Amino acid sequence: MQIDNFVVAASASLREALQRIERNHHGIIFLIDVNGAVSGLATDGDIRRRILDGGSLDDVIMQCATSDFVWENQATPREFLLKKLDSRI
């Protein structure tokens, strides 16, 4: 699994984001800001809805990304993650 297929610059186009999603086969892309931090995420469904609402493949991916997301590092215990998910669903 190549990490490059899961990240794209926050200023990238929808077209570029879709190309990366197509390569990673997971339906999601993480947006990276100029400092290298994850600033958002977008799914193929987010991009599809943007296009159906009149957007174009040349639009900036950040326009349809979710910037309000929850994350944890890989050392986080599974039980904690499940509790966190339960409280948000």
Residue pLDDT tens, the chain, 89 long: 788 999 999 999 999 999 999 999 999 999 999 999 999 999 999 999 999 999 999 999 999 999 988 788 889 999 988 888 887 65
Compute the distance between CA of residue 82 and CA of residue 29 in angstroms, rounded to an integer: 23
The alpha-helical segments, DSSP class H, found in 1-89 are 14-24, 44-52, 78-88
pTM: 0.81
Structure tokens at 2: 């190549």
| Angle of CA points 64, 69, 74, to nearest 5° | 130
